[in-house]
Structures are given as C-alpha cells and as structure tokens.
Amino acid sequence: MIIVALDPPQNVDVEKWIKIRYDELKEYVQGFKIGVPAIIRVGLEGLSKIFKDYSGLLIADLKLADIGDVMALTASIVGDYGFNAVIAHAFVGYSQAVDELSKTCEKKGLKLILVVSMSHRGSEEFIDKHLESFVEIAKRVGSWGLVAPATRPLIIKRVRELIGSEVKILSPGIGVQGAEPGTAICYGADYEIVGRAITHSENVKQSALKIIENQKQRVAKCRG
C-alpha cells in the first residue's frame, strides 16, 4: 500500500509537475500527500482542480502544531478544497488543541492523522521519548491514523502494540531516506509513504511499479 509524497523540486512548473505525476500514478497507488511548500506554490484552488475527481486518500501534510482554534480553522479550509485527510502533531497536547481539531475533522469528514514519531534522527531527541503519551492522545480523539517512521521499524512495532489494530499507521522514509519497500508494513504499518524514489525518477510509473512489486515480495516473505 503506497502513498506518494508529492514534493516538487525547485525550478519547475509545480502545478504541471504535480499533475503529470498524479495522472501517471493515480491508478496504482492508494493516495497522495501534499506538503506545505507545494500547497503554498500551487495554492489550494490549483490543487483542487488537479485532484477534483480523485477518490483516494488526499492528505494535506500541514503538520499542524498550534492552538485548537487555529488548527481547526486550517483543517476546515483545506477540507473545503477537496482534501480528505490532514496531518497534525500530537505534541501540542489534547486540551484546547488536538481535541478541537478532531471535532472539526469529524464534522468535515476529514481523516485525522497524528504524528507520534518522525523519520529523521532529531525525532529521538524529544518526540520519541513521549511516544506512549502521544499514542494516548490519538486514542482519546479517535485519530484515524498515526505517522511512524519506516526508518525505525521498531518504533512502528511499538506503536502498533499501543494503538491496536483499528488505527492506520502511515510510514515515511521509504527509498531516499533508507528504508526498503515493505519493511514498514512487515512491522505493522498499513501504508508506506514514498516520495523522491518515485517522483524524482526519470520514469515515474516504472519506478512506482517496481517499488510496489518489491513491497509485495517483502511482505509475502515476512508474513510467510
């Protein structure tokens, strides 16, 4: 299960860059994740036109980390432009923060995805030390999904133990950051997030199909 991170490089026509990759990949992957730089460069209206007929996961990767009112308003706005999921940080806490965001997501039909660990080494300095507390926040608000890194699969395993089987785990770090396709799923993730290994390749479709096949092979092996 693949979610493609659409993070355009500098010095490209961003709207065209995203549309080409969306058209090439939409039949083969389960969703797309759009980060802050691309949202700023293309704009919500431009993105809504590109993805207007898409029924898969369309994630606004804003990594929201503010008071509840601000996060709720931001989620409401992106929902109006066709996004059906939003990523926020759990570290801002529950009261007057993630609790208010979750209520807005429920009203707008948005899937709330909370970051409980990240794929870079700096996550170990603070975020990972509070992993269990962040997972508890996700439980309290009924989060649809959690972000945990493919680069540290034992974190994924621990998150799955803590959260149970119903909540989705999305794992970034496949490809350029070093994790092999299928690794995160073998440790309990539902989706692997892949960016540059697909989107910056010369043949986007071929690269995606190769990663999907590698993922299937590794998962088949680890699950026996």
Could you say which of 13, 26, 49, 63 is catalytic? Answer: 63
| Residue-wise DSSP of 182-194 | THHHHTT-SEEEE
* CA 151 to centroid of chain Cα atoms: 15
The answer to whether 7 is annotated as binding is: yes
Q: How many Å apart are CA 135 and CA 155, to the nearest integer?
A: 12
The answer to whether 157 is annotated as binding is: no
Q: How many Å apart are CA 130 and CA 90, to the nearest integer?
A: 10
The answer to whether 33 is annotated as binding is: yes
Active site includes 61? yes
Residues near 94 by beta carbon (within 8 Å), at least 6 away in sequence: 137, 140, 141
Could you say which of 61, 128, 168, 190 is catalytic? Answer: 61
Active site includes 66? yes
Could you say which of 13, 16, 19, 66 is catalytic? Answer: 66
The answer to whether 190 is annotated as binding is: no
Q: How many Å apart are CA 141 and CA 102, to the nearest integer?
A: 6
Active site includes 53? no
Give helix 153-163 / helix 131-141 axis angle, nearest 10°. Answer: 40
The answer to whether 80 is annotated as binding is: no
Residues placed in the known binding site: 7, 33, 119, 195-196
Which active-site residues does the annotation give?
Answer: 61, 63, 66
Residues at the annotated binding site for substrate?
7, 33, 119, 195-196
